[in-house]
């Protein structure tokens, strides 16, 4: 049988078995219907190249059909966007385990910056945080394997694993121009999502009662933790709020909706998803009944590492006129990924993680690739960011024995805004009384 005949045979198998995760209509012949001409041509091209490799490539052991197909599909999904990926049986099983919460990791959010695997945020209290990882660190090796040619999904799979098992990583820290090697033991990541609740000191606020809450990620308990924090601030006499979402990589959308529900009446639009398919055109997430309502003037702090669910909260409060956003433009991670299983009659236990929709704010502003624009721009230098991070992390080695001096301009701007609002309000009340 010549190459073209074998390729046609592969194509016929593709068409008859209906290789589709969506149950697309298939035909029982190798003759394409007119509106599927492009589909037929692409499948024939793929099959022809596979057979050419099988016939001519030097190392026969690398030409296994499944291995070549999986490699091709990985490249195909990765070419769409950084979040879509093909899941072979091993990785599909891992995704299912991950969904059930039975995986260990380092407690870090990572992404690709200039095609390099980069730490976005170490989750406070997690093993990566305790080991001294900082935002902006470039992970160059994982267990001796270079990350330069790995996709984001492949890198994450190498970082994750059974709790209690160490992983060796090499990082390059641009701010110090040095490479550091670390051994970090994987753990089940279960840390509080709300890390800090306090009153701004009287010296900083000049006597105004300003509360401060910092949420580091959004999880199942965030709503209850937020209620507890607001209750504490109420007892302390707070009359204004700073909600710090800087370096918050996101988390559960439901948790973001829960937090916004503390600011708005039940049934208020918080966020929506918009997809391409008719059945997924638009799904709205509405606020829920909440026993607690925050009615204080509020400032939300954000930066370039504020992502996903954190952007949903910032965008909703900004759109609804309930908060002033201070800081830098957020990360812009506002896409929805769904894990879909490929037809098991073709090959069992493979799937795809596919971007199927994107989030929009209540006014239908797109988040993905754009981010939330702050109302007031306030930035930190890299050195200032590291100083703040180290001050929050008493276990990290300091650059000197002296107490770190921390300049936090975004926080200062937030305090100034709330102080100004209180002064204006008091003057307005005084004018009405006179």
**Residue ranges of the domains in the chain?**
3-63, 103-185, 194-425
* Catalytic residue chosen out of the listed positions 333, 335, 408, 422: 333
Does 2 have pLDDT greater than 90?
A: no
Residue 346, token pair as written in the block: 């073709």
Contact, 358 vs 368, CB < 8 A?
yes
Contact, 372 vs 325, CB < 8 A?
yes
Give 30's pLDDT tier (boundaries 50, 70, 90).
very low
Contact, 19 vs 351, CB < 8 A?
no
Rounded Cα distance between 62 and 154, Å, is: 20
Question: CB 370: neighbour CB atoms within 10 A?
Answer: 14
Rounded Cα distance between 206 and 208, Å, is: 6
Please provide the size of the chain in residues. Answer: 434
Rounded Cα distance between 213 and 259, Å, is: 12
- Percentage of the chain with pLDDT > 90? 49
* Catalytic residue chosen out of the listed positions 261, 287, 308, 335: 308
Measuring CA to CA, which residue among 210, 222, 217, 215 is closest to residue 244? 215
The tens digit of pLDDT for each residue in 186-236 reads 998 776 789 899 999 999 999 899 999 999 989 889 999 999 999 999 999
Rounded Cα distance between 285 and 268, Å, is: 8
Residue 354, token pair as written in the block: 């596919």
Question: CB 162: neighbour CB atoms within 10 A?
Answer: 9
Rounded Cα distance between 53 and 55, Å, is: 5
Mean pLDDT of 94-105: 60
Does 107 have pLDDT greater than 60?
A: yes
- Which residue shows structure tokens 């006129």? 321
Measuring CA to CA, which residue among 342, 303, 326 is closest to residue 88? 342
Contact, 298 vs 322, CB < 8 A?
yes
Contact, 307 vs 333, CB < 8 A?
yes
Give 389's pLDDT tier (boundaries 50, 70, 90).
confident
CATH H superfamily, domain 103-185:
PDZ domain (2.30.42.10)
Contact, 242 vs 299, CB < 8 A?
yes
Rounded Cα distance between 379 and 132, Å, is: 23
Which residues, 6 or more positions from 223, have their beta carbon under 8 angstroms from its beta carbon? 255, 258, 259, 261, 262
pLDDT at position 271 is 97
Residue 319 annotated as catalytic:
yes
The CATH number of 194-425 is 3.90.226.10
Contact, 421 vs 297, CB < 8 A?
yes
Which three-class secondary structure state does DSSP give residue 301?
strand
Rounded Cα distance between 253 and 275, Å, is: 16
Which residues, 6 or more positions from 88, have their beta carbon under 8 angstroms from its beta carbon? 70, 74, 350
Which three-class secondary structure state does DSSP give residue 153?
helix
Residue 169, token pair as written in the block: 């990583």
Does 33 have pLDDT greater than 80?
A: no
pLDDT at position 225 is 95
* Catalytic residue chosen out of the listed positions 287, 319, 408, 422: 319
Q: Which residue has the higher pLDDT, 141 or 354?
A: 141
Return the top range by mean pLDDT from 73-77, 288-292, 414-418. Answer: 414-418
Give me the phi and psi of 277, to 5 degrees please: -75, 150
Strands 376-377 and 324-327, bridge-based pairing:
parallel
Alpha helices in 18-175 (DSSP H): 37-56, 65-80, 89-99, 127-131, 152-159
Do the first three CATH levels of 103-185 and 194-425 match, i.e. the same topology? no
Measuring CA to CA, which residue among 100, 91, 214, 113 is closest to residue 158? 91
The pTM for the full model equals 0.73
Q: Is 408 exposed, middle or buried (0-12, 13-18, 19+ CB in 10 A)?
A: buried
Rounded Cα distance between 159 and 142, Å, is: 7
Residue 276, token pair as written in the block: 């391409």
Does 171 have pLDDT greater than 70?
A: yes
Which three-class secondary structure state does DSSP give residue 33?
coil
The tens digit of pLDDT for each residue in 36-76 reads 777 888 888 998 999 999 999 999 999 999 889 989 998 99
């Amino acid at each position: 049988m010549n190459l073209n005949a074998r390729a046609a045979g592969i194509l016929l198998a593709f068409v008859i078995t209906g290789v589709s995760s969506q149950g697309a209509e298939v035909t029982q012949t190798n003759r394409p219907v007119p509106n599927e001409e492009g589909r037929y041509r692409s499948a024939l091209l793929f099959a022809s190249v596979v057979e050419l490799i099988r016939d001519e490539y030097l190392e026969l052991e690398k030409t296994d059909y499944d291995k070549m197909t999986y490699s091709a599909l990985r490249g195909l999904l990765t070419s769409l966007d950084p979040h879509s990926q093909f899941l072979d049986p091993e990785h599909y099983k891992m995704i299912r385990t991950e969904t059930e919460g039975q995986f260990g990791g380092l407690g870090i959010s990572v992404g690709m910056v200039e095609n390099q695997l980069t730490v976005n945020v170490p989750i406070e209290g997690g093993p990566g945080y305790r080991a001294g990882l900082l935002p902006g660190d470039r992970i160059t090796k994982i267990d001796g394997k270079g990350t330069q040619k790995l996709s984001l999904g492949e890198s994450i799979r190498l970082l994750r694993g059974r709790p209690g098992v160490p992983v060796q990583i090499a990082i390059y820290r641009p701010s110090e121009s040095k490479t550091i090697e670390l051994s970090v033991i994987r753990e089940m990541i279960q840390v509080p999502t709300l890390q800090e609740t306090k009153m701004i000191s009287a010296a900083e606020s000049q006597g105004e009662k300003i509360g401060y809450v910092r949420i580091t990620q959004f999880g199942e308990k965030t709503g209850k933790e937020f209620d507890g924090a607001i209750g504490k601030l109420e007892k302390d006499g707070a009359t204004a709020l700073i909600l710090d979402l800087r370096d918050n990589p996101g988390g559960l959308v439901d948790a973001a909706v829960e937090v916004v529900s503390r600011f708005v009446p039940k049934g208020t639009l918080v966020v929506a998803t918009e997809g391409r398919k008719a059945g997924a055109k638009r799904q709205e997430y509405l606020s829920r009944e909440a026993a607690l309502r925050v009615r204080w003037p509020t400032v939300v702090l954000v930066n370039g590492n504020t992502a996903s669910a954190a952007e949903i909260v910032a965008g909703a409060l900004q759109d609804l006129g309930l908060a002033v956003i201070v800081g830098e433009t957020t990360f812009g991670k506002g896409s929805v990924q769904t894990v879909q299983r490929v037809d098991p009659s073709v090959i069992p236990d493979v799937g795809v993680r596919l971007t199927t929709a994107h989030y929009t704010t209540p006014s239908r502003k797109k988040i993905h690739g754009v981010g939330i624009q702050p109302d007031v721009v306030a930035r930190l230098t890299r050195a200032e960011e590291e100083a703040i991070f180290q001050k929050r992390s008493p276990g990290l080695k300091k650059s000197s024995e002296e107490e770190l001096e921390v300049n936090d301009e975004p926080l200062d701007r937030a305090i100034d805004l709330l102080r100004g609002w209180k002064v204006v309000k008091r003057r307005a009340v005084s004018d009405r009384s006179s």
